[in-house]
Amino acid sequence: AQSVTQPDIHITVSEGASLELRCNYSYGATPYLFWYVQSPGQGLQLLLKYFSGDTLVQGIKGFEAEFKRSQSSFNLRKPSVHWSDAAEYFCAVTPGFGNEKLTFGTGTRLTIIP
């Protein structure tokens, strides 16, 4: 069965600093990979996704993620965070091929300090 690990439960970053959120997955083949963001009391918004091809994926709000097959990782990055980036971030995978149910990590809560 596929699984997703987000090893960092909570990260605090200064505004303007760079950010990297870690995500490792376990799956036999290359899954479809996603990063979602959830603001308090809200639903999930897709930041970016990876299916194949270029391993560096650009998303919305200045985020990017890099797929590394050898490390089974799909880390999310942003060069300079803004106070509005404070939220919960979820990495997710799906095997594709007709049943696209998402398996989520437990999330990383991002706090931004002035």
Question: For residue 85, what are the CA distances in angstroms to 38, 76, 91, 111?
Answer: 10, 13, 16, 8
Question: By rule CB under 8 A, what count of residues binds another protein?
Answer: 23
SS3 99: strand
Binding to another protein by residue 106, rule CB under 8 A?
yes
Binding to another protein by residue 97, rule CB under 8 A?
yes
DSSP letters along 38-96, please? E-TT--EEEEEEE-SS-SEEE-GGG-EEEEEGGGTEEEEEESS--GGG-EEEEEEEE-B
Q: Residues 39-78: x/- map of binding to another protein (CB under 8 A)?
A: ---xxxxx--x-xx--------------------------
Our CB check for another protein shows the closer of 81 and 90 to be 90
Our CB check for another protein shows the closer of 28 and 43 to be 43
What is the binding site for another protein (CB under 8 A)?
Answer: 32, 36, 42-46, 49, 51-52, 90, 96-107
